[in-house]
Amino acid sequence: MVVDQREDDEHPDLLEPIGAGGRATVWRAWHRGRVVAVKRPADGSPEAVERLEREARLAARIAHPRVLPVSAQLRTPDGPLLVQPYAIGGSLADRLARHGALAPCEAVQLAAQVAEALTAVHAAGIVHRDVKPANVLLDGAGGPLLADFGAAVTAREAAAGTRPAEGSPAYAAPETLTGHASPRADLFGLGATLYEALTGSLAATGDPGGAGIETRLRRSVPGLPPALTGLVASCLAADPEGRPDSAAVVRARLLELVEPLRNWQPDADAALAAWAAQDDPRVTRTFGPRPPRSVTPTPGSSAPSPLAVAVAAIATFVAPIAVAGLLT
């Protein structure tokens, strides 16, 4: 793909800001008869301008339907502008904030498509370094588009650590803090994104990867297949060597899980056990506080049986999921 570079023969009409970061802002705009997204430097500093121009060069090396392209780079008196297609579905982060976690089958399908995009990115010799829900945009059909190559580097730069560390701490692989990275660093971001899509919460805050991730995932979404929880945990391994070999491997393993998850239902026994243990905040919010072990009935009434308590708890867990399924 060759990015169209031209002087400003038709300046985009900026309509409203839709995103902002430390180095750039993104606007919904009207350009050449259509709605587009326009990215511009946050300021006129040489560093911000160079970063935007670099992003255009790297994006031009990738042509894949699941990677948001840069369709034009315009030079204007106010600095360079990147023109991109406008993703009418917003970002995955927006959707999770509005509606909560996705159904497991949908989350796995979406992650498989992002893994497919990453396969193309890595084949082009690029490491994205900032895979997260905010950088996964959604098209009109809800399909994902990997976006924002502002933190991206070439594979050679990533291995040498010649570019400063960037990315979002909650989704960044530990090794990227030193500026070093490999394509496996993007698998960490993918694992964190999938975890959040499944649970509606961040994967970790201080001790990423390993059995702790898998345990929290099983408790947050009781009944997920071990093949899925194990895959997410392996992507989030602190040691890059503990992660899958490639994005293509992750995609293949995710696709194997799609069919088994089509008719997935939460494991009621596991949900009740998690609720009784009360060691996961999400379970506590779902079921409410655990009742005392002994209940003294009021005059004229009787204490609820353990079976009744269990049925009520399970119904409380299953009903919201069923409703969410109808709304998605």
Q: What share of the chain is helix, strand, coil (3-state, %, to 5)?
A: 45, 15, 40
| Residues labelled catalytic | 130
Quick check: 286 pLDDT over 80? no
Task: Assess whether 194 and 312 both reside in one domain.
Answer: no
Quote the domain boundaries for residue 50: 4-85
pLDDT winner (highest mean) among 67-71, 87-91, 147-151, 246-250: 246-250
Q: Are residues 186 and 272 in the same domain?
A: no
Of the three residues 210, 234, 261, the one that is the final residue of a domain is: 261
Residues 257 and 273 grouped into a single domain:
no
Residues above pLDDT 90, as percent of the chain = 50
The DSSP bridge partners found for residue 6 are: 74
SS (H, E, C) 18-86: EEECCCEEEEEEEECCEEEEEEEECCCCHHHHHHHHHHHHHHCCCCCCCECCCCEEEEECCEEEEEEEC
Give the span between the Cα atoms of 303 and 167, in whole angstroms: 54
Mean predicted confidence (pLDDT) in 29-47: 88
Comparing 194 with 73, the larger pLDDT belongs to 194
Q: Looking at per-residue confidence, does 71 or 137 come out higher?
A: 137
Closest CA to 251 of 314, 175, 191: 191
pTM above 0.85, yes or no: no
Residues 62, 96 within the same domain: no
Residues 208, 100: Cα–Cα separation, whole Å: 22
288 and 255 within one domain: no
Strand-strand pairing, 126-127 and 136-138: unpaired
In the predicted structure, residue 252 carries a pLDDT above the cut 80 = yes
Are 193 and 137 spatial neighbours (Cβ–Cβ below 8 Å)? Answer: no
Instruction: Output the pLDDT for position 149.
Output: 92
Residues 115 and 156 occupy one common structural domain: yes
**pLDDT computed for residue 48 by the predictor:** 84
User: Span 297-311, mean pLDDT?
Assistant: 46
Q: Give the chain's mean pLDDT.
A: 81
